[in-house]
């Protein structure tokens, strides 16, 4: 049986499972077809230079940033500060997802 791919939404917080960014949190900023999403964290991966990731290499969390989603819907853009704030807000609410060496801003 084929494994069902989790669904993703713009503004959703995700954790990278594969690649040199493995373990880092990011925000989905664009969905491309059924297989790929574009992610950014506002720090290493800015809005202007997002990372294209295969969905199976991401762990989605049940948290969608309303600020990021609204900004992308209204203007098609989001500031890197809003991306960092979305990750920080998620980590403040769910400290169990903070990785070792990651400070309160979500930066490692």
Q: Which residues contact 48 (CB under 8 A, 6 or more apart)?
A: none
Q: How confident is the model at residue 2 (pLDDT cuts 50, 70, 90)?
A: low
pLDDT digits (tens, 9 = 90+) for 36-75: 999 999 999 999 999 999 999 999 999 999 999 999 999 9
Mean pLDDT over each residue of the chain, to the nearest integer: 91
pTM for this prediction: 0.87
Amino acid 108: pLDDT: 54
Q: Kindly report the backbone phi and psi dihedral angles of residue 84, in degrees, each rounded to the nearest multiple of 5, phi listed first.
A: -65, -40
What are the beta bridge partners of residue 60?
14
HSE, side-chain direction, 13 A CA sphere, residue 24: 21
Euclidean distance between CA atoms 61 and 34, whole angstroms: 18
Angle at 91 between CA 34 and CA 105, to 5 degrees: 105
Contact assessment for residue 39 and residue 24, using Cβ atoms and an 8 Å cutoff: no
pLDDT over 80 at 24, yes or no = yes
Amino acid 97: pLDDT: 86
What domains appear along the chain, each with residue ranges and CATH number? Answer: 12-97 (2.30.30.140)
Angle between helices 80-93 and 66-75 (to 10 degrees): 160
């Amino acid at each position: 049986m084929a494994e069902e791919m989790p669904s993703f939404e713009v503004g959703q917080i995700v954790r990278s499972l594969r690649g040199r960014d493995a373990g880092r949190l990011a925000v989905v900023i664009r969905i491309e077809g059924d297989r790929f999403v574009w992610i950014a964290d506002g720090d290493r991966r800015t809005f202007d230079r997002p990372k294209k990731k295969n969905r199976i290499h991401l762990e989605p969390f049940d948290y969608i940033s309303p600020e990021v989603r609204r900004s992308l819907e209204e203007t098609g853009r989001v500031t890197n500060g809003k991306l960092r704030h979305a990750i920080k807000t998620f980590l403040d609410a769910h400290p169990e997802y903070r990785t070792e060496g990651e400070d309160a801003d979500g930066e490692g």
